[in-house]
Amino acid sequence: MVQAQDYINPLIVQRADPYIYKHTDGYYYFTASVPAYNLIEIRRAKTLNGLANAAPRTIWRKHPDGSGAMSQLIWAPELHYIDGKWFIYFAASHTKEFDHNGMFQHRMYCIECDNPDPMRDEADWTEHGQIETPLDTFALDATVFEAQNKLYYVWAQKDPAIKGNSNIYIAEMANPWTLKTKPVMLTKPEYDWETKIFWVNEGPAVLHRNGRFFLTYSASATDENYAMGMLTVAEDADLLDPASWSKSETPVFQSNMPIKQFGPGHNSFTVAEDGETDMLVYHCRNYTDIKGDPLYDPNRHTMVQPFTWNDDGTPNFGKPVPYNYK
């Protein structure tokens, strides 16, 4: 049986918003935000622990300063394999300055690689530009998943008519970089644990098990208040109907104060080497006295741990595990 202590934690230091995908070639592929927010890199290994020392390969770099879109603050890339091609979804801005709402100015972008090896060459990656949504506002943290023979896009975005920084939306896609349907809001910050310092729902991740889709997300400020919530929907339901989804009233994963694991979140999911045990991938800090803006504190580290399932078929993520590296 897979145990938490089987894995190095933190697995990868100074990598926030971690995303791990186990491909059909047997490799685990890893990408995440880098502290300088200036490029996208991929690393791969045959085991999860192997990612710790795998050499990263830069596959895309931000556009030059002052050149417009995709020139600043490259955030939260995710690597997906769709219909035989590789896609990376990420957010980027044209400036580090805030807008009139006091918010960053990110929009969402997509790049594609049709080479079987996504790490071969930067030249293999082509830009599809911005993924357009009806609202021209702060948007980030996109993910995609397939259901009912359709491709769905889930992301976080600011609606000026709703209090807070971001809500989570879903839409069907016409292709991997174009929305087909009008976005539908699935959740907005409303509970006290979603509104600590900042009113935030962001970082969605989707898991398909036991006849349901579980959509986790992260809420509140990116300090020790950061915590994960979850939405649940039946796999055969209308995914574009908000009424199909139920929302947990309490966090499903949060800081583990006694062992100094603070603000776990922006998670993704993968499976252990046995091909069966579900693994939670997330970032966390081990201190709370952050100097200045938490965004520019680089010490959010990538963590991995197995999780179990409750009798009712819902995931039980447990608590963040302690560091165990020597």
pLDDT digits (tens, 9 = 90+) for 113-126: 999 999 999 999 99
Comparing C-alpha atoms, which of 190, 189, 211 is closest to residue 200? 189
Q: Which residues contact 276 (CB under 8 A, 6 or more apart)?
A: none
Tokens of 277: 């045990």
pTM, 2 dp: 0.98
Q: How far apart are CA 206 and CA 160, in angstroms?
A: 26
Using 50, 70 and 90 to split pLDDT, how confident is the model at 296? Answer: confident
pLDDT at 92: 98
pLDDT at 325: 78
pLDDT at 295: 82
Q: Is 17 a catalytic residue?
A: yes
pLDDT at 291: 87
Exactly one of 141, 202, 224, 297 is catalytic; which is it? Answer: 202
CA 132 to chain centroid, in Å, comes to 19
pLDDT at 326: 67
Comparing C-alpha atoms, which of 18, 26, 13 is closest to residue 42? 18
Question: For 196-234, how does the pLDDT look when each residue is reduced to its tens digit (9 = 90+)?
Answer: 999 999 999 999 999 999 999 999 999 999 999 999 999
Inform me whether the pLDDT recorded for 294 exceeds 90: no
Query: Range with the lowest mean pLDDT among 44-48, 98-102, 119-123, 126-130?
Result: 98-102
Q: Is 249 a catalytic residue?
A: no
pLDDT at 101: 85
Residue 112 neighbours by CB distance under 10 Å: 17
Q: Which residues pair with 144 in a beta bridge?
A: 153
Task: Please give the average per-residue pLDDT across 177-186, as a whole number.
Answer: 98
Domains and CATH numbers, the chain: 4-40+137-316 (2.115.10.20)
Task: Please give the average per-residue pLDDT across 28-48, as a whole number.
Answer: 98
Omega into 64 within 30° of 0, i.e. cis? Answer: no
